[in-house]
Amino acid sequence: MTDTTPPTLVQLSNATLPSLSPAVEVPRYDRAGLTAGIVHFGVGGFHRAHQALMIDDLLQQGLARDFAICGVGVMPSDARMRDALLEQNGLYTLVVKHPDGSLDARVIGSIIDYLFAPDDVEVVIERLASPEVRIVSLTVTEGGYNIHPVSGQFDLGNPQVAADLQADAAPATVFGLVVEALRRRRDRNIVPFTVMSCDNLQDNGRVARRAFVAFATAKDGDLGAWIDASVSFPNSMVDRITPVTTDDDRAQIAETFGLADRWPVVCEPFLQWVLEDSFTAGRPPYEKSAAQLVSDVEPYELMKLRLLNASHQGLAYFAHLCGYRLVHDAVADPLIAGFLRAYMDREGSPTQTGAGNRPRGLQDPADRALQQPGRARHRGAIGRRVERPHSQVVATGDPGAIGARRRARPLGRDRGELGALRRGDRRAGRTDRRRGPHQGHGHAERRRLPDRPARVPARPRPVWRPHR
């Protein structure tokens, strides 16, 4: 008779690490002696799949012991992450899903503390102001920098920002907390920390500088000038698919590894983190991890923006119009794959100038763009891509890209793929309007796609034909 008794699950914590399955890699270093030299705002799956992982890589080598991570939550929703991490002593499971269905599980130990700002604002500020903290990193989403969509400037009219700017107000935003900590460091003659944005945002370091300097200047002009002159805001670019963790993921991890984790992270095997080597108060030896330290991140950003991001948007529109609802199904369609390859070869690639056409260490971008959305174990929804703001659709339509294409091609040569991408965007919008309310193309406005069958038989009138 087959034993159907479910295996006993091990709840993840420091005490249970020796009890985990041999199939799960665990920290081999002593976590008790670590110092949190990095404070991170916005601990989520994305941060835990790249930055926290690379610090863990260094700790496994006996390096960066004074650069462990203290997470900070500001939003009410961050209380869930606080509870999950504190119950597990900061530990979590990172599971890499391979295209063949195999799983690699690893417990990450680089996060050693987590502070929830609404619990005690003063504790957070003093942690930030302490000399041990040398980097403050951010994954607060693209919209978290409070940049006005029309003016492009920091929005001082935001009610939360305005409240933080009041005299003697207890800071409640990331801007208020970081700026107050920098003020205390200046007044105590402590070297300022680096502010390192890791959000999926072009020129993220410059955007962060604009935001924090503007807030500080509105609070105290001299403080704003000091931050602008004394604090480093390096640019960075991160590329890794990290889907939202689901109950199915938790159940699969429990079944496969006998491990109970309140908030694991699942991701693809590919990982790239390109980081500008500009730090105010020192940094971990990132060069001994998978991170790439460079003097200029822009060529890598443009490669991702004009090839990966733009081709994924094109995939989403045409897949939606053809009735596909899952990314890995759509990318298997030869017509859609042919369009993506033609777009990248004829439209995207000619814009990649100034860095030998392909930055050092980057996988062939066309192969990457075709492989990434088609990974069978990452069943991404088409709707999530179509619902992105319109500003992301025409990533190769910016003046720099247009100029680069004109220099790279004879005048008058067909630009059909980019035009098709634009037409696909408009037609997907019309399709959406016929089926329900449409939110428009403005900043942060999104298309709400109705539920439809996984595949409809009829194709729409062509907006692109393969070249003969």
pTM for the full predicted model = 0.81
What is the phi/psi pair of residue 222, to 5°? -65, -40
Is 283 in contact with 135 (CB distance < 8 Å)?
yes
Judged on CB neighbours under 10 Å (0-12, 13-18, 19+), 39 is: buried
* C-alpha separations of 41 from 62, 134, 275 in Å: 25, 14, 18
What is the phi/psi pair of residue 134, to 5°? -120, -15
Domain positions in the chain are 10-294, 298-435
Q: Give the span between the Cα atoms of 204 and 300, in whole angstroms.
A: 13
Eight-class DSSP state of 414? -
The pLDDT tens digits for 33-83 are 999 999 999 999 999 999 999 999 999 999 999 999 999 999 999 999 999
The pLDDT tens digits for 237-253 are 998 989 899 999 999 99
Is 265 in contact with 48 (CB distance < 8 Å)?
yes
At position 377, the amino acid (one-letter code) is R
On whether the 298-435 domain is CATH 1.10.1040.10, my answer is yes
**Between 204-219 and 221-230, two packed helices, what is the crossing angle to 10 degrees?**
150
Token pair of 328 as six digits: 């890995």
On whether the 10-294 domain is CATH 3.40.50.720, my answer is yes
Closest CA to 234 of 266, 268, 273: 273
Which residue(s) pair with 311 in the sheet?
Answer: none
Count other Cβ atoms within 10 Å, centred on residue 409.
14
- Each residue's pLDDT expressed in tens, for the chain with a length of 468 residues: 444 445 689 999 999 999 999 999 999 999 999 999 999 999 999 999 999 999 999 999 999 999 999 999 999 999 999 999 999 999 999 999 998 889 999 999 999 999 999 999 999 999 999 999 999 999 999 999 999 999 999 999 999 999 999 998 999 999 999 999 999 999 999 999 999 999 989 999 999 999 999 999 999 999 999 999 999 999 999 989 898 999 999 999 999 999 999 999 999 999 999 999 999 999 999 999 999 999 999 988 888 877 777 777 777 788 888 888 777 788 788 888 888 888 877 777 776 654 444 454 555 555 655 565 544 444 555 655 555 444 444 444 454 444 444 444 543 444 455 565 555 555 555 444 443 332 332 333 333 344 444 444 444 455 555 655
Region of 323 (left: φ > 0; alpha: ψ -120 to 50; beta: rest) is left
* C-alpha separations of 89 from 17, 31, 108, 114, 118 in Å: 11, 10, 11, 9, 20
The strand pair at 272-276 and 265-267 is best described as unpaired
Is 286 in contact with 344 (CB distance < 8 Å)?
no
Task: Give, rounded to a whole angstrom, the gap between the first and last alpha carbons of the chain.
Answer: 63
